[in-house]
Amino acid sequence: MIARRLVSLHSRVFLPSLRTMSSIPPPECLFKEMNIPNRQLYGPGPSTMPQAIGSSQAQPLLGHLHPEFVEIMSQVRLGLQYVFKTRNAYTFAVSGTGHAGMEAAILNLAERGETILVAKAGIWGMRAADLGRRLGLKVEVVEVPDGQVVPVSAIEEAAKRVKPAVIFVCHGESSTGIAQPLEGLSKIAHDNGGLLLVDTVASLGGAPFDADALGVDCVYTATQKVLNAPPGLAPISFSDRAMQKIKNRKERVASFYFDALELGNYWGCDGEMRRYHHTAPISSVYALREALAIIAKKGIDTLIQQHIDNAVALYSQLDQAGFKMFVEKKEDRLPCLHTVRVPEGVDWKAVQSSLFAQGIEVAGGLGATTGKIFRIGTFGQNSEPAKTKEVLSKFIQVVKEQSKL
Ligand SMILES: Cc1ncc(COP(=O)(O)O)c(C=O)c1O
């Protein structure tokens, strides 16, 4: 009797009336199909996705610890070791976009109060510095004007002075279009008691990179650039030296989700029984597996060379049409993302809209380069010379029409 009264009191006090529940009508827009034009993505990413990668995502879901899925995860790890060029056991993919890779890397490699030395050549160095401050690190920045690379000698001088726990460099600075030289940086980091962290979000597969030969301690990338997969995973790799530091931290990593030891266990990197860590984005892992298979069949070095050859042809086509590249020294340019100065009097937004109308994306600048440059990404399959030539011809024509207005 008392129990029944309590139940009726509970429903009167806590349960919303039907009238309140139905006050928000279902959104009309959800009754219609989504509008997704078939656009060729020649911006700074995401890049155009091959059919095979898209279809892989439509495969049936598996559970995140089902044996067949675990086997796919192992294949992804091998594929990532192949593209990063590393034998690091702790090579896997963080769930999240490139930023998740950056956060996971910095969170794991440095402890509160330690110093991170950031080589800043554009917005991504700035982002790493900001993240370092948020995480309670001391941040030292060596910077250069946009369009230039950070001299190795400047990084060395700063490292000797501040003895950083981590040196951060962005290999492919997508806001300016430079390719940061990496040779000699791991020795500088190690000689000064620290680790080398490299962002290859915009460069992996599109510019020469060899994690083990360069002595890189942590490298991350993202799926939506040269890999031509959808955004959503951040492949990452930690060297044995980095893992040594992580295993001997004074404090546990302040994030469960990004803890390299937890993630490494789930991805099968530590040889122990896999524990549930989070529900992996299953379909995104299928897509990454497919993207890696495409690269394995082509060959990573062939893919990198294709980007380099394609870039040479692109420079010549733009030069003949009277355009100026933003990065003056050819050897400093990223072969998969090209930054072109917006010619005097041209409205870059109007150029972008006009190309959109033709089914092509080319982007403007980012951060300090907004309004100054166009960014043309020729990532992965977009780096086939015939495709690039066709897209560039349309770009050149639209800019020329604009400058006549
Ligand atoms: C060099 C670089 N690092 C990091 C990021 C961040 O990646 P995401 O947008 O996937 O989080 C980007 C994105 O364009 C990038 O180009």
Q: What is the mean pLDDT of residues 35-52?
A: 97
d(C-alpha 304, C-alpha 311), whole Å: 11
CATH topology for 51-297?
A: Aspartate Aminotransferase; domain 2 (3.40.640)
CB of 172 closer than 6 angstroms to any ligand 1 atom: yes
pLDDT of residue 403: 82
User: Is there an atom of ligand 1 within 6 Å of 99 CB?
Assistant: yes
The pLDDT-based confidence of 7 (bands split at 50, 70, 90) is: very low
pLDDT band for position 3 (50/70/90)? very low
- Alpha-carbon gap, residue 290 to 56, rounded angstroms: 7
Percent of residues, the chain, with pLDDT higher than 90? 93
With a 6 A CB cut-off, is 239 part of the ligand 1 pocket? no
pLDDT band for 127, please (50, 70, 90 cuts). Answer: very high
Give the Å distance between the CA of 14 and the centre of ligand 1. Answer: 46
* Structural contact between residues 120 and 150, judged by C-beta atoms closer than 8 angstroms: yes
Q: Centre a 10 Å sphere on the Cβ of residue 76 and count the other Cβ atoms it contains.
A: 23
Position 4 scores a pLDDT of 52
The per-residue pLDDT for 18 is 57
45 Cβ below 6 A of ligand 1:
yes
Is 245 strand, coil or helix?
A: helix
Q: Which residues are annotated as part of the binding site for substrate?
A: 375
What would the mean pLDDT of 28-51 be, rounded to a whole number? 97
Spatial CA neighbour of 334 closest among 204, 184, 169: 204
Give the confidence band of 404 by pLDDT, cuts at 50, 70, 90. Answer: confident
Check pLDDT > 90 for residue 22.
no
Q: Give me 6's structure tokens.
A: 């309590």
269 contact partners, CB below 8 Å, separation of at least 6:
77, 89, 90, 91, 92
Q: Is the pLDDT of residue 265 over 90?
A: yes
Report the sign of the C-alpha dihedral through residues 144, 147, 149, 151, in that order. Answer: negative
CA distance 254 to 267: 20
Name the class of domain 299-404.
alpha beta
Atom of ligand 1 nearest to the CA of 172: 1
d(CA 291, CA 49): 9
Cα 202 to middle of ligand 1, angstroms: 7
Confidence of residue 296 (pLDDT cuts 50, 70, 90): very high
Instruction: Look at residue 394 and tell me whether its pLDDT is greater than 50.
Output: yes
Would you state the torsion angle of the CA atoms of residues 205, 207, 213, 214, taken in this order, to the nearest 10 degrees? -120
pLDDT at 10 over 70: no
Q: Which residue has the tokens 């294949």?
A: 75
CA of 99 to the centre of ligand 1 (A): 6
Which segments of the chain belong to CATH 3.90.1150.10? 299-404
CA 340 – ligand 1 centroid, Å = 20
Of 350, 43, 305, nearest to 174 by C-alpha is: 43
Q: What is the pLDDT of residue 200?
A: 99
Phi, then psi, of 178 in degrees rounded to 5 = -90, 155
Query: Which whole number is the average pLDDT over 241-262?
Result: 98
Q: Is the pLDDT of residue 1 over 70?
A: no
Cis peptide before 46 (omega within 30 of 0): yes
124 touches ligand 1 (CB under 6 Å): yes
Non-local CB neighbours of 329 within 8 Å, separated by 6+ positions: none
What does the mean pLDDT of the chain come to? Answer: 95
Helices 348-357 and 385-404, interaxial angle, to 10°? Answer: 130
Measure the CA–CA gap between 327 and 332, rounded to whole angstroms: 7
Which atom of ligand 1 lies closest to the CA of 200? 1
194: CB partners within 8 A, 6+ apart: 117, 159, 163, 164, 165, 166, 167
**Tokens representing 389?**
């030539």
Mean pLDDT computed over 109-129: 98
What is the per-residue pLDDT across 217-247, written as a single tens digit (0 to 9) for each? 999 999 999 999 999 999 999 999 999 999 9
Residue pair 322/78 in contact by the 8 Å Cβ criterion: no
CA atoms lying within 13 Å on the CB side of residue 249: 20
> Would you state the pLDDT for residue 17?
61
Residue 70 one-letter amino acid: V
**Ligand 1 centroid to residue 370 C-alpha, Å:** 16
On the 0-12 / 13-18 / 19+ scale of CB atoms within 10 A, 145 is exposed
Cite the residue boundaries of each domain of the chain with CATH code 3.40.640.10: 51-297
Ligand 1 pocket check for 98: Cβ under 6 Å: yes
The model's pLDDT over 306-343, given as tens digits with 9 standing for 90+, comes to 999 999 999 999 999 999 999 999 999 999 999 999 99
Does the C-beta of 174 come closer than 6 Å to ligand 1?
A: yes
User: Is the CB of 199 inside a 6 Å radius of any atom of ligand 1?
Assistant: yes
Q: Is the pLDDT of residue 117 over 60?
A: yes
Q: How confident is the model at residue 16 (pLDDT cuts 50, 70, 90)?
A: low
| Cα–Cα distance for residue pair 287/283, rounded to 1 Å | 6
pLDDT digits (tens, 9 = 90+) for 91-107: 999 999 999 999 999 99
Helices (H) and strands (E) in the chain, counts: 15, 14
CA 146 – ligand 1 centroid, Å: 17
Q: Which helix (H) or strand (E) holds 305?
A: helix 300-320
Is residue 349 scored above 70 in pLDDT? yes
With a cut of 50, say whether residue 381 has pLDDT above it: yes
